[in-house]
Structure 1
Amino acid sequence: MTVVTAFITTFMGSALNLSVPALEEQFQVSAALVGWVVTAFTLTVAAFSVPMGKLADATGRRRVLLIGIASFGVLSVLCIFSVNIWMMILFRGLQGVAASMIYATNNALLISVFPGSERGRVLGISTAATYVGLSMGPVIGGILNHRMGWQSIFAVTFFCTVLSFVLAWAGAPKTKPDPPQCRTDAAGNLLFIAMISLILYGLTNLTISRYGWLILICGLALAAAFILVEQRAEDPVIRLTMFTRDRVFAFSNLAALLNYGATFAISYLVSIYLQVVMGYSSQTAGVILICMPAVQALFSPLMGRLSDRVPPYKLASLGMGLCVAGLVMFSLLGLYTPFAWIIAAFVVEGFGFALFSSPNTNAVMSCVNKDEYSVANSILATMRTFGHSASMAIVTIVVGMGLGNAALTEAAPSQLVKTMHWCFLVFVVLCAIGTVLSLERKR
């Protein structure tokens, strides 16, 4: 059940990326407007994950998971019958809310039924399913879009959701929350949703909209207000002492934020490099890009199992160090880089991320009581989304400084390589800081 839900949510998040031209033609709108089909999903997943995690811990994870899976499937069908782009964006936003219910509960339910000695192993399997969804999403999505249209992506997702719902109904444990009743922190929930939405929107539009910086600042102001409200709340959405009194929890989440921020844009940058500099087609470039998530999926279960025997911070820190090495390799890409060097960089980066992800998740979930599993898992998911957005924001800022208004795909090969060098150098610094934070957990 957890494996299927981990797959379908990440698959749906990445499978539509190659359908943007088809959606433009279908609804006769601009690419910028179609981009909201993806953005609406990402924003709502990030904004609602923690509130849904709190709701799951308070009322029962099985119920929230089943509602999330059922809603995800129904909204997949509704997306197929969208008559205009605005309806599609609305359904995708609601689908993001449903996905946040799944994100908040799947790993929490998983580790609640296994002993602590096996937590790393089962988290490794779940992480592998996530990477399979991320890697196969663009491939399968591209094939389905080409042969049967973008609607087929939602149809396949619906059938996977039905399977997931049946498995969850039969296998998800019926647990009662302790305590069974909690006060609703309405102000904290609203502030969290607003602050995450504004910060993420501001980050992704820093160089696109002249209001990007203003929206980001408003989001940060709401973050300060959120902290003040949570300090006084009787039953806060996020117990702030999870960060202030637990060094391992705080540094593990910060390490995750920096790791995702430093690595997410690799596929974007290298895909353009492969096409503009190396001269490969988009299809060939897509196949090459599978190398990194494939390595992640292959080794994540092993690294998760290993984290049950070796202190997770050691494995996660070594993984971050390998990610730094991989980023250094990518920063050395030039006009005549051997193909073997590119593949080696992908393998090093993928292995480093597999070594980091499962053990780091194990470290986070080991810091909290079972009645806060969903919130802790949701916080980690939010860090992942923030890292993704920050990574792309760094790319847009560096590209803006180096190329002005020109797109990377329109740049001369020498300019593209130079711009990529600066992007990867920034990512090396971020990942190195994350490695230091990861090591600091031992104290």
Structure 2
Amino acid sequence: MSPASFPFRTPGHGASASGPAPAPVSRGAVLFVVSTSMVLMPLMMSAVGVSLPAIGRDLAATAMQVGLVETTYVMALSVFLLIMGRLGDIFGRRRLFLAGLVLFTTITAVLSLSQSIRMVIGLRFLQGMGAAMIVANSFAIMLEVFPREERGRAIGIVSAAAYAGISCGPLIGGFLTTHFGWRWVFLMVLPFGISALLLVFTRLRGEWRSARGEPFDLRGSLVYAGAIVLLTLGSSHLDEGSWAWAALAGGLACGGLFLWLESRTPFPLLEVTLLSRNRLFTLSCLSALINYASTFGVLFFLGLYLQYVRGLTPSDAGLLMIIQPVIQMVLSPIGGRLADRFPAERVATVGMVLCAVGLGVAAFIGQDTSTALTVVVLVLLGVGYGLFASPNASAIVGSVEPRHLGVASGMTSTMRTLGMMASMIVVTIVFSVFMGGQPVSAATLPGFLSSMRTALWTFCALCAVGVLLSVGRVKSKGRGQAARTDAARNGAPADADGNS
């Protein structure tokens, strides 16, 4: 895909709420830059994940330090997504996006020169910060530039790019690490980062500041960051004792404190009324959280199952498991187009139902199950997730005013990260119950299979709750539209949910 593939320009989009409209911006250029950046973010998780053993050997790292290479990146991404979305609303989304590209590309280059594992861990935090600046504001810029009737298609293309990064990461990372060394996993990003920077400088000359002049909520940001850090540390070490459970409880307490503070702040990081009064926004966010929580851990279990139970090599297991992200990559643009033609929340509900069916089938996988059933599960989850993600993102951002696009964009990605975290909490708990801290081996296969079945039934139940929430927002929107129609006839104003 190139900018020439989308040559049309948008004359009226991109004006800030408090300034003159900038020069026309090429939608094709925006879509190309956003898609490129969305390939790089997941690529830096999946590709680096494959190279972790090589990094650990080369830099003499402990197992905990190797784990922190990934955990630190995800934690920084989670901490800064909402914060950078709000800063973009205030100071300019293009400005934050450009700064994020510079930071991400520079830190990635320096990572290839790292001489110690501590240096890698510290730089990965900064890399995650740059990634958050890019993700939160690139999505918001795209939503400003594309009219509502074309957003679904654009979101679908960007989602396909993200899945391309996820699916290609292990293959590219493994090839580069094997033949050239782990440092080339970071070096490969540089041409893409530099190309995106040049395109931003030459083709994206507008600026978008829907909350220009409003103060930044520093107190809320610090509490929010503390909540994410504690939740991440606690959830990733639940099998290490009471301190991890205390950290998890502290993270939940900080999350509650954050919501309480935000409800009393004139210019909050997160407009709590979006959650309390905008049912479509709230239910769409909860649907995203539950969907990610119920599907992320499945690939973790299937990867272990295929190798330890079915006896596949890591390479063969990876090739089999790539089925799901490839299907998601193909179907995401289709899901986006459907969201432009039909109510996005209805399309997302169909996707959620398919995910629930796939999880129910997966729960019956056992020691003697054929590989064909695993393929069926991966296909069902790929189709379901491909039809869910783009329409659900369209529903989230389509339910808010333009001044909240940055926050809504950040919430979309935050729900994904928190859902993945919740999924791994379930995995850690079932492992501690059924395996007692023992490694997966031939001797512990019964305990592993019990853990997998329990987790998959838990994920299936979660997804069923998600289906109910998704159906609830469809009905809520229908009632809201009817109420707005009645209010219009009676001359009374009505809010987003139809309350007059």
TM-score by length of structure 2 reads 0.87
State how far apart, in whole Å, the 1-side matches of 2:195 and 2:142 are: 17
Among 326, 337, 340, the alignment partner of 2:369 is 337
State how far apart, in whole Å, the 2-side matches of 1:294 and 1:205 are: 31
Task: Summarize deviations over 1:159-193 as a string: whole Å, max 9, x none.
Answer: 22112222233333512413421112111111111
Among 418, 424, 439, the alignment partner of 2:471 is 439
One-letter amino acid of the structure 2 residue matched with residue 424 of structure 1: L
1:126 partnered with 2:124: no
Q: What residue is the counterpart of 2:314 in the other structure?
A: 282
One-letter amino acid of the structure 1 residue matched with residue 427 of structure 2: V
1:96 partnered with 2:137: no
Q: RMSD value over aligned CA atoms?
A: 1.2
Q: What residue is the counterpart of 1:5 in the other structure?
A: 37
State how far apart, in whole Å, the 2-side matches of 1:367 and 1:35 are: 38
Q: What residue is the counterpart of 1:348 in the other structure?
A: 380
1:82 partnered with 2:114: yes
State how far apart, in whole Å, the 1-side matches of 2:86 and 2:259 are: 16
Does the 8 A contact of 2:239 with 2:437 survive in 1? no
SS across alignment from 1:424? helix
Task: Summarize deviations over 1:302-343 as a string: whole Å, max 9, x none.
Answer: 110110111111111111110011111111111222222111
Does the 8 A contact of 2:89 with 2:208 survive in 1? no
Among 389, 392, 396, the alignment partner of 1:364 is 396
State how far apart, in whole Å, the 2-side matches of 1:292 and 1:427 are: 17
Q: Alpha carbons of 1:179 and 1:271: their partners in 2 closer, same or farther (altered >3 Å)? A: closer
Q: How high is the sequence identity, in percent, across the aligned residues? A: 34
State how far apart, in whole Å, the 1-side matches of 2:171 and 2:372 are: 22
Of stretches 358-367 and 203-212 in structure 1, the one that deviates more from structure 2 is 203-212
Structure 1 segments, 4+ long, off by >4 Å, are none
Deviation at 1:208, TM superposition (A): 2.8
Among 180, 183, 205, the alignment partner of 2:237 is 205
Q: Paired residues, what number?
A: 443
State how far apart, in whole Å, the 2-side matches of 1:198 and 1:338 are: 41
State how far apart, in whole Å, the 1-side matches of 2:381 and 2:210 are: 41
Q: Alpha carbons of 1:57 and 1:339: their partners in 2 closer, same or farther (altered >3 Å)? A: same
Deviation at 1:268, TM superposition (A): 1.1
One-letter amino acid of the structure 1 residue matched with residue 85 of structure 2: G
1:186-197 matched pairs, under 5 angstroms: 186-197=218-229
Does the 8 A contact of 1:109 with 1:173 survive in 2? no
Among 455, 469, 476, the alignment partner of 1:423 is 455
Indicate the structure (1 or 2) with the bigger Cα radius of gyration.
2
Q: What residue is the counterpart of 1:219 in the other structure?
A: 251
State how far apart, in whole Å, the 2-side matches of 1:57 and 1:120 are: 22
Deviation at 1:414, TM superposition (A): 3.5
State how far apart, in whole Å, the 1-side matches of 2:71 and 2:393 are: 26
One-letter amino acid of the structure 1 residue matched with residue 126 of structure 2: L
1:38 partnered with 2:32: no
State how far apart, in whole Å, the 1-side matches of 2:336 and 2:50 are: 32
One-letter amino acid of the structure 2 residue matched with residue 151 of structure 1: R
One-letter amino acid of the structure 2 residue matched with residue 250 of structure 1: T
Of stretches 89-98 and 12-21 in structure 1, the one that deviates more from structure 2 is 12-21
Does the 8 A contact of 1:260 with 1:388 survive in 2? yes
Of stretches 166-175 and 50-59 in structure 1, the one that deviates more from structure 2 is 166-175
One-letter amino acid of the structure 1 residue matched with residue 355 of structure 2: C
Q: Alpha carbons of 1:49 and 1:410: their partners in 2 closer, same or farther (altered >3 Å)? A: farther
One-letter amino acid of the structure 2 residue matched with residue 349 of structure 1: L
State how far apart, in whole Å, the 2-side matches of 1:14 and 1:239 are: 33
1:272-421 matched pairs, under 5 angstroms: 272-409=304-441, 411-421=443-453
State how far apart, in whole Å, the 1-side matches of 2:201 and 2:410 are: 22
Deviation at 1:410, TM superposition (A): 5.4
Deviation at 1:209, TM superposition (A): 4.1
State how far apart, in whole Å, the 1-side matches of 2:184 and 2:431 are: 35
SS across alignment from 1:346? helix
Deviation at 1:29, TM superposition (A): 1.9
Deviation at 1:359, TM superposition (A): 0.4
SS across alignment from 2:365? coil
Does the 8 A contact of 2:210 with 2:402 survive in 1? no
Q: Specify which structure has the bigger relative contact order, considering alpha-carbon pairs within 8 angstroms and separated by 6 or more residues.
A: 1
Q: Where does the alignment leave 5 or more consecutive residues of structure 1 unmatched?
A: none
SS across alignment from 1:265? helix
Q: Where does the alignment leave 5 or more consecutive residues of structure 2 unmatched?
A: 1-32, 477-500
State how far apart, in whole Å, the 2-side matches of 1:226 and 1:415 are: 39
State how far apart, in whole Å, the 1-side matches of 2:210 and 2:306 are: 53
Deviation at 1:116, TM superposition (A): 0.4
Does the 8 A contact of 1:75 with 1:94 survive in 2? yes
State how far apart, in whole Å, the 1-side matches of 2:259 and 2:444 are: 47
State how far apart, in whole Å, the 2-side matches of 1:390 and 1:172 are: 37
1:58 partnered with 2:96: no
One-letter amino acid of the structure 1 residue matched with residue 137 of structure 2: T
One-letter amino acid of the structure 1 residue matched with residue 113 of structure 2: F
Q: Alpha carbons of 1:393 and 1:179: their partners in 2 closer, same or farther (altered >3 Å)? A: closer
State how far apart, in whole Å, the 1-side matches of 2:462 and 2:440 are: 22
Does the 8 A contact of 1:113 with 1:173 survive in 2? no
State how far apart, in whole Å, the 2-side matches of 1:129 and 1:149 are: 26
Deviation at 1:105, TM superposition (A): 0.9
